[in-house]
Structure 1
Amino acid sequence: MTLADQYRSDGCAISFELFPPKTSDGIDSLCENVERLMQFQPRFFTCTYGAGGSSQGTTLEVLQRVKQLTNLPVASHLTCVGSSTQQLCEYLRQATEMGIDYIVALRGDPPKGTTEFSVTEGGLRYANELVDLIRQNFPNLGVAVAGYPEVHQEAIDAQTDLGNLKRKVDAGADIVITQLFYENSDFYRFRDDCSRAGINVPIVPGILPVTNFKQAQKIAGMCKAAIPNQLAEAMMKNDSAEHQFRVGVEHARQQTIDLMDNGVPGIHYYVLNRSAAAAELLDGLQMAGT
């Protein structure tokens, strides 16, 4: 089954994103969380890696463990940061040998301590070039790319950002997974804009449940995602961990229900290696295949 095929069935197909732990105990804990998430019959798992390409090896180790544990397809993130074309191809070769099914192809953020992306000698400047590299040399890999409902922080304007996305799709991307957002209206506007621009691959919303308001503010600030006033006010009424967890999970649950009612082909959950929030917000919902 291709990556695009995952979204051609009835219902709402879900997937989860993981982050590579720093220790072997952390990997064991992550696998326990993956087992809990399997009750929701996800279609696949993705795994990112650290800034500037750090922890790439751990990413592949995590994905290999997850695939053995779940027998599901797995996807590795891959960025242009700090790698030549030759190094990117070597990573892709290693990934395919280890049974990785899909790649989430990204330009990548500037390394820590810098403010601008710079091209590595012999490397790539844009994510569409990475998609093209994969399609030319590893045609059997599925490819997902990122979309930005509230516009990429470096884009001049929304139209320019949409043009960048279309180049990635035209280069051969199978699906678009969006950056996190907290107002579904932002996603619907983005989806309509994609349709008008001739972007016809599945547009999959990405959801990160807010379980700690300070952490959410930090993450949202990094990617220019607005936290609705109503959500912020509800969370700030009580700074206890339990209150913030309940409020954040309920908001994500209502987002999920509304997205499903509005016909999204799937939802991608950023779970930060914790299963509790995702499990609670998904409990009792009728997803694809359940």
Structure 2
Amino acid sequence: MKVIEHLARAKETLLSFEIIPPKRGGDIHSLLRVVDDISKYNPPFIDITSHAAEVKYEETPQGIKRKVKRKRPGTLGICALIQNKYNIDAVPHVLCNGFTREETEDFLIDLQYLEIENVLALRGEENSYQKPLVNGRSANRYAVDLVAQINNMNKGIYLEEELIDARPSNFCIGVAAYPEKHVSAPNLEFDIKQLKKKIEAGAEYVVTQMFYDNRYYFDFLDKCRAAGIDVPIIPGLKILTAKSQLTSIPANFHITLPSELTDPVLEAESDEDVLEIGVDWAYKQVSELIEKKAPAIHFYIMQNSKPIRMLMKKLGF
């Protein structure tokens, strides 16, 4: 089922989750234990992140060698497993950076074979490995370009001429948004205009970057509605679990942590104390979001389900 269909049928706020594939050559069983945990809360869909190749330079007896490899492959296989083993709709992330449009089309066709109906279209990390475009290949520069490509496939328009008679795809397209603005945007108003372009290109719902002050989400929602964006906007949350995240989260995701959260974390004596503080903070956020009828709440859990178990227990699930 499509994400927008889940949202339309829901009588209360839905809960969804986002996980990350194991590192290259790693063990999938730890990830499956996470899925086992979160599946108990009946999520209508689970997002699976995708990762482009990375460039690394290694010193060898023959000199410095350049290696290009994907650190976390496996998105497609994990999607198939979740959708068929757990009967939960999988939402793979599809990226611009690091992939050609031709590779994207192949990936989307594979998703069609697996009857996966949902994708989240993202620009991806700007420092990802950029493949040289040879033999007439092309790349999507921005997420709006990727949305347009997926929407074209939904209309039966493919890149490959020999696929001219192929049936149209049927993807529900989600996109990301940033309540505190994207780092590369000059201001929030500009960012909302870019978001509207993605909606006009065919995106049907939005998932926000994490935030730790609900006022950012509600203010962002009001501004989006005023700008004519009327699709569902799902708030994204991540439970704070370690003191180190007080610096890593703002540095990596360019968001603000309120002092009402950071002060007690700084004073905490143990990791367990930090986790309790993080869960309590998330509980307050979730309670308000549910009270104000957010369509769903999307949790960035990656490969650690313990904080979610603690939060769900506190919420009474």
TM-score (normalizing by structure 2): 0.84
1:56: Cα distance to partner?
6.7
Given the alignment of the two structures, is residue 80 of structure 1 paired with residue 81 of structure 2, yes or no?
no
Question: Which of 67, 84, 87 is matched with 2:83 structurally?
Answer: 67
Would the aligned equivalents of 1:207 and 1:270 in 2 still touch at CA under 8 Å?
yes
Paired residue secondary structure (1:26) = coil
**Contact 1:44–1:74 (CA under 8 A) maintained in structure 2:** yes
Quote the residue 2:62 is aligned against: none
The answer as to whether partners of 2:31 and 2:303 remain within 8 angstroms in 1 is yes
1:65 corresponds to which letter in structure 2? L
Opposite residue 315 of structure 2, the aligned amino acid is L
Q: Which runs of 4+ in 1 moved over 4 A?
A: 117-121
SS of the counterpart of 1:177? strand
C-alpha distance after superposition, 1:81-121 (max 9, x if no partner): 12221111011112222333211101112125x9xx99966
Superposition RMSD in Å = 2.1
| Structure 1 residue corresponding to 2:124, chosen from 103, 108, 111 | 108
CA, structure 1 residues 27+99, in 2 after alignment: closer, same or farther (shift >3 Å)?
farther
Aligned residue number for residue 220 of structure 1: 250
Residue 195 of structure 1 aligns with which residue?
A: 225
Match of 2:107 in 1: 91
| Alignment size in residue pairs | 284
The correspondence of residues 124-143 of structure 1 with structure 2, limited to 5 A, is: 124-138=140-154, 139-143=169-173
Deviations 1:125-173 (A, max 9, x none): 1111111111111441111100100000000111110000001111111
* More displaced stretch, 239-248 vs 15-24: 15-24
2:24 and 2:73 in contact (8 A); partners too: no
Q: Secondary structure at the match of 1:199?
A: coil
Task: Provide the secondary structure at the position in 1 that maps to 2:27.
Answer: helix
The 1-side partners of 2:270 and 2:243 are apart by 10
SS of match in other structure, 2:315: coil
Greater mean alpha carbon deviation, residues 167-176 or residues 210-219 = 210-219
Residues 98 and 216 (structure 1), Cα distance of their counterparts in 2 relative to 1, 3 Å cut = farther
Report the Cα distance in structure 2 between the residues aligned to 1:118 and 1:164, rounded to whole angstroms.
Answer: 25
Report deviation, 1:24. Answer: 6.5
| 2:41 counterpart residue number | 40
- How far residue 68 of structure 1 moved from its aligned partner, in angstroms, is 2.5
Pick the aligned partner of 1:181 from 211, 215, 223: 211
Aligned partner letter, 2:175: V
Q: Does 1:269 align with 2:293?
A: no
Q: Out of 275-284 and 247-256, give the one that drifted further.
A: 275-284
Q: Which residue of 1 aligns with 2:157?
A: none
Query: Which structure has more strand as a fraction of its residues?
Result: 2
Which protein has the larger Cα radius of gyration, Structure 1 or Structure 2?
Answer: 2
Q: Distance in 2 between matches of 1:211 and 1:151?
A: 24
Structure 1 residues without counterparts, runs of 5 or longer:
none
Counterpart-to-counterpart distance in 1, 2:22 and 2:250: 22
Question: SS at the partner of 1:213?
Answer: coil
Letter in 2 for 1:30: L
Measured at CA, do residues 52 and 124 of structure 1 come closer, stay the same or move farther in structure 2, by a change above 3 Å?
same
Residue number in structure 1 paired with 2:193: 163
1:7 alignment partner in structure 2? 7
Over the matched positions of the two proteins, sequence identity in percent amounts to 30
Q: Which runs of 5+ in 2 are unaligned?
A: 55-69, 155-168
Task: Between the two structures, name the one with larger relative contact order (CA 8 Å, sep ≥ 6).
Answer: 1
Rounded to whole Å, the distance in 1 between the matches of 2:40 and 2:212 is 25
**Measured at CA, do residues 26 and 239 of structure 1 come closer, stay the same or move farther in structure 2, by a change above 3 Å?**
farther
Corresponding residue to 1:153 among 183, 204, 216: 183
CA distance in 2: counterparts of 1:168 and 1:42, whole angstroms? 26
- The whole-number CA distance in structure 1 between the counterparts of 2:205 and 2:71 is 25
Q: Could you report, residue by residue, the CA deviation over 1:193-243 in whole angstroms, capped at 9, with x for unpaired residues?
A: 110011101000000000012135212321211011111111111241100
Matches within 5 A, 1:205-216: 205-216=235-246
CA distance in 2, matches of 1:166, 1:208: 25
Q: Which amino acid in structure 1 is aligned with residue 3 of structure 2? A: L
Q: How far did residue 74 of structure 1 move?
A: 0.3
